[in-house]
Amino acid sequence: MKRAFLTLLAAAALALLPSCSSLSGVVKETATDRQATGKILQVTSQPASLGYNRLGYHSAVYPELAQFLAAKGYPDFLVEDKTLTTRQVVVFYLKPNQAYLFQMKEGIRGQKMSVNGPEPIGKKTRIVLNAIRHLGDAPSDMPLRTVKKKAKP
């Protein structure tokens, strides 16, 4: 009885696994989940940023995303969020002022992905993303400006 249950459990687990070609992407994606979830990630290819790598991992699992990136190019930034069955990735293209939402669902019947957008990026979000980009462009050896306090009389 116990052996039959374990065999059934193993079969169910195998059904949930993606194809072998995307298994590497799933492993790498899972390994960097904590670093990426809920954070604004800049996407740069040289050097390869965490955001760039995350999009590569997702593309290995979701071919629709790979096709989108091939047609549109890599975004400037992304933000990820995750629930038990759904991952949401918002990508931001600053130059054309566009944002897209990818909803990626995983389940027994395989993976599904939907795309919403383009939507204009809000003013406050653009300010934050531009500030992050300028901080990333600053030289690492740039001295920090200090504010001197006025002496009390």
Query: What pLDDT was estimated at residue 41?
Result: 92
Question: Is 8 inside a domain boundary?
Answer: no
Sign of CA dihedral 50, 56, 57, 59: positive
- Amino acid code (one letter) for 41: L
Q: 6-39: per-residue pLDDT in tens?
A: 444 444 444 444 444 455 555 655 677 788 888 9
Higher pLDDT, 1 or 125: 125
Question: Is 88 inside a domain boundary?
Answer: yes
Q: 123-152: per-residue pLDDT in tens?
A: 999 999 999 888 876 665 555 555 556 666
Question: Is 33 inside a domain boundary?
Answer: yes
- Amino acid code (one letter) for 144: L
Q: 30-78: per-residue pLDDT in tens?
A: 677 788 888 999 999 999 999 999 999 999 889 999 999 999 999 999 9
Examine the pLDDT at 80 and tell me if it is beyond 90: yes
- 15, containing H or E segment: helix 2-16
Question: Is 1 inside a domain boundary?
Answer: no
Q: Specify the number of domains making up the chain.
A: 1
Q: At what angle do helices 63-72 and 50-61 cross, to 10 degrees?
A: 130
Q: How far apart are CA 93 and CA 71, in angstroms?
A: 13
Helix locations, 17-49, DSSP H:
20-31, 33-36
Query: What pLDDT was estimated at residue 145?
Result: 55
Alpha-carbon separation of residue 127 from 12, 19, 108, 132, 150 (angstroms): 47, 41, 41, 9, 31
- 124, containing H or E segment: helix 123-137
Tokens of 11: 């079969």
Question: Is 76 inside a domain boundary?
Answer: yes
> Which pTM was predicted?
0.71
Query: What pLDDT was estimated at residue 15?
Result: 46
Radius of gyration of the chain (CA): 21
Tokens of 75: 């975004």
Question: Is 4 inside a domain boundary?
Answer: no
Question: Is 2 inside a domain boundary?
Answer: no
Query: Which range of residues forms the domain containing residue 80?
Result: 19-136
Question: Is 84 inside a domain boundary?
Answer: yes
